[in-house]
Amino acid sequence: MIARRRSFLATAFAALLLAGPADTAGTRHVSEYDISLGILPIAKASFASEFGGNNYEISGSFRSWGLAELISKVSAKTSVSGRKQGNRLQAERFNLVYKTGKRTRTYNVVYRNGNVTQSVMKPEPKSRPDNWVPVTDSDLRSVLDPLSGLVFPGDAKVCPSRLPIYDGESRMDLVLSPKGSRPFSTQGFEGEAIICEIRYVPKSGFRRGRSDIEYLKKTPMEIWFAKAQPVNVYAPVYARIPTRMGDVYVKAAKYGG
């Protein structure tokens, strides 16, 4: 499951898997992302988000690309819907369908006022190892989904101190700290991007002592946010995610439209 978490985390940092129009009537924002391991292209992701009043929907897709497909074909489709509450986007329903090879797993989560009221994973794991850290009821209170958790309303503070994330299996904190800003340009956008350093803090729903987890805990990541003017939100346009095989880079090839 480490591979699932790492690849999905990478796309989440992108602004999350968008590839189809949302149903909410309102302003629409589309982004596309290229993902590479060093200079080697390994995946592509696309996202579509739509905002109408206080309601929002984000949908997206992710798939392995290039030589990575010769090793393992991985794809995912995801969606989230919810409402803007204060300075955050708060999910009501989150869905993820993740495929690797011939295996498919689905995650469906229902939230109410930030608390998880239902979380279903199919198929369920047959067993958990002794070093598995189980998710408790308290872990499911006051949490965000991994898509809209990294999208901020235009008047909100970017790089907040801590984001409590639950993705349908694992509970984690993403601790963000500001690192200034830099110019960024791509198709559909040219301007300043706000840079945040991110530290990954696993809380539950993971194997304690796994080398991948320990590496990610100790090695800071970086993510850049840019403002999408038509929908008045900040979303990721660039991310650097260290792995034991090298840095994974996520870059917006298109931002807006």
Q: Does the N-terminal peptide bond of residue 129 adopt cis geometry, omega within 30 degrees of 0?
A: no
pLDDT of residue 67: 64
d(CA 79, CA 88): 17
pLDDT computed for residue 68 by the predictor: 61
pLDDT in tens, 21-56: 333 345 788 899 999 989 899 899 998 888 888 899
Kindly report the pTM of this predicted structure. Answer: 0.86
Using the predicted structure, report yes or no on whether residue 152 has a pLDDT greater than 80. Answer: yes
φ, ψ at 26 (rounded to 5°): 165, -160
Find, among 109, 120, 45, the residue nearest to 82 by Cα.
109
Task: Check residue 189 and give left, alpha or beta (phi > 0: left; psi -120 to 50: alpha).
Answer: beta
Q: What does pLDDT average to over the chain?
A: 86
Task: Write down the pLDDT at residue 73.
Answer: 83
Can you give the pLDDT at residue 28?
Answer: 80
Tokens of 138: 């308290």
List of residues 6+ apart from 197 with CB closer than 8 A: 176, 177, 178, 179, 220, 221, 222
What does the pLDDT average to over 164-190?
A: 95
Work out the average pLDDT over 81-106: 92
Instruction: Judge whether residue 237 has pLDDT over 60.
Output: yes
User: Which runs of E-coded beta strand occur in the chain?
Assistant: 27-37, 40-52, 55-64, 74-85, 88-100, 103-112, 115-122, 132-133, 152-153, 163-166, 171-186, 189-204, 206-207, 221-228, 233-243, 246-255
Q: Give pLDDT, residue 116.
A: 98
Query: What are the pLDDT digits (tens) for 48-68?
Result: 888 888 899 999 899 888 766
User: In this model, does residue 90 exceed pLDDT 90?
Assistant: yes
